[in-house]
Structures are given as structure tokens and as C-alpha cells.
Amino acid sequence: ADGELVQYHYGLKDLVTILFYIFIAIILHAVVQEYALDKINRRLHLSKVKHSKFNESGQLVAFHLTSVIWCSYVVVTVRHGAGWALGFQVKFFYLCQLAYWLHALPELYFQKVRKEEIPRQLRCIALYLVHIAGAYLLNLTRLGLILLLLQYLAEFFFHMARLVYFTDENNEKLFNVWAVVFVVTRLFTLTLYILVIGFGLPRVENQALDPERGNFFSFLFNNILFRMSVLLLVCLFQASVMWRFIHFQLRRWREYWNEQSSRKRATTGTKQQAKPLKRDSGYHENGVVKAENGTSPRTKKLKSP
């Protein structure tokens, strides 16, 4: 407690650190793939499409779980630097996050991802890199930590639900948990953006340019025009995310009800086929042949010659 608190700023040397941890992330990616996911895939015998999605979700479950635990530790226990400075844990966390999402670019080639899946994954990687780098360079690290914690928690439940679904297609309970967490995450994200960018940044003291404190980017962008533009973009982005989520849930429920109705029709058709069949001379009931008028047919006696 009496030790000296070392504080950091961002700089060009961060690029070298990020490059080093990109190689570390590639190695860890390969270890998880070989010693965990490949062994599970051999037992499940999944198709090529499910095999690719299973590997993607397996890697992201490991990453999101680690990030949630690490981010929670940083938010709860670590002291931030004074002013615009960063503590070691905060700086290290952000550099590792940037390294992980940058390592995902060469992994698209190493994992032989299908061409139709590449645009979706590139869009996801770009969004994470822009938001994490933006929070790091604009000195919004505290806000970024909380938002990443919420986002990674929702993503963890989604990919965990996909893994369970690939194991047992009748088990979709975790998707319902993910849906609740997803909606709550979107509401918290929008609320935090409005509180910090709309009301918090205008109250920051000493907004003058001070290169020694590292507030160059904040000096350029902490004005009303930039803040309102960011809030507008955030609202539009969250609205588009919610629209896709609602569309996905409606399609999922529609498929569920169509499946239930088809099962009911199949059950009704089976019952109709189980009804007794009429014969020319009568019908069978409980193994006894009866005539159409309800009386049992009698055999004719043969006359003696």
C-alpha cells in the first residue's frame, strides 16, 4: 500500500507490445483448438458447417470467460492512474484485447473459414477494434471496461448456448438466458453512453490541451458537436442491433410454431389411419368379423348328397 504507483500513457511502443501478444494469442488459439475442441469434435461427428461454428464458439467461449473474469478484477480492485494516466493492469488489459482481435485476422486463413462467413467475422473484428482502440486513445478506459464486461458476458452466454445446441439440438434453454442478458446489456450500454458522453464529459475540468497529460485526442473530440454525433451513432447502432435481435427471435418462434403444427398434423394423420377398415362382408372388431348390420355372419350348412 505504501509502494509507488507506476503510471503509463499510450505511445508508439504499444505497437511492439501488441505485435508480441498477437503471437502469444495465436499460440494459445492453437492450444485450445488441438487439446480441447478437436477432441470434442471427434466424438460429436459434426458436419462441416457445424464443425466450423463449433470451433468459432469454442474459441470465443474461452476468450470471453477469461476476459469477463479479468475485466471484473480490474473494475473492482485496480486503482486507475491520476488524471489521464493508466495503471499497469488497465493498460495491459487493453493491449491484450487489441492483440486478440488483431490475431483473429490471420486466423481466418489458418482456420480455413468459408468465404461466405468472412464478411461477418471481419465486421465483428472491426467493430471490436474500433471501440477498444477508441476507448484506449480517448482516455475513456473506465467506461470501456464496463461496456466490455457487459458485452463479453452476453457473448459468453450466446456462444455457450451454441455449444450446448450442437451437443443436443433439443436443448435451447441457454438461448433464452442469452436473450434476457442481451436486452439488459443493450439498455445498460445505451444508458452509460448517455450519462458519460452526454453529461459527464462536459463537466471535465481543465479541458485545455496538455500533451504531458496525454489528453490530445480528448482535447480534439470533447466538444458538443462530437459528443452529439457519437450519441447519435450509438443510438442508431444499438437500434439496428435490437432490430436484428427482434427479427431473429421472431423467425425462431415462427419456426418453432411451424414445427409444432406439423407434429400435430402428423399425429392427427396417424390417428385417422388407426380407425377400423370396412370389408365387403363386414368389418373387423377385436379380432371378430361382424356384418354391417351388427350381427355375426353365420356359416352355411352343407347339405348331404
Asked whether 156 and 65 are in contact (CB, 8 A), the reply is yes
Per-residue pLDDT at 210: 54
Q: Which residues of 204-235 are buried (b: 16+ CB within 10 A; e: fewer)?
A: eeeeeeeeebbbebbeebbeeeebeebeeebe
Per-residue pLDDT at 284: 46
The span from the first CA to the last CA of the chain, in angstroms, equals 125
CA atoms of 147 and 242, how far apart (whole Å): 17
pLDDT in tens, 219-277: 566 677 877 888 888 889 888 888 988 888 888 788 878 877 887 777 776 666 655 55
Per-residue pLDDT at 219: 57
Residue 146, φ and ψ in degrees, nearest 5: -65, -40
pLDDT in tens, 211-234: 555 555 555 666 778 778 888 888
Query: How many C-beta neighbours within 10 Å does residue 19 have?
Result: 11
Per-residue pLDDT at 255: 80
CA atoms of 232 and 228, how far apart (whole Å): 6
For the chain, give every domain's residue range: 12-202+215-263
Per-residue pLDDT at 305: 46
**Which positions of the chain have pLDDT values less than 50?**
82, 279-289, 291-292, 301-305
Asked whether 95 and 18 are in contact (CB, 8 A), the reply is yes
Per-residue pLDDT at 182: 92
Per-residue pLDDT at 289: 47
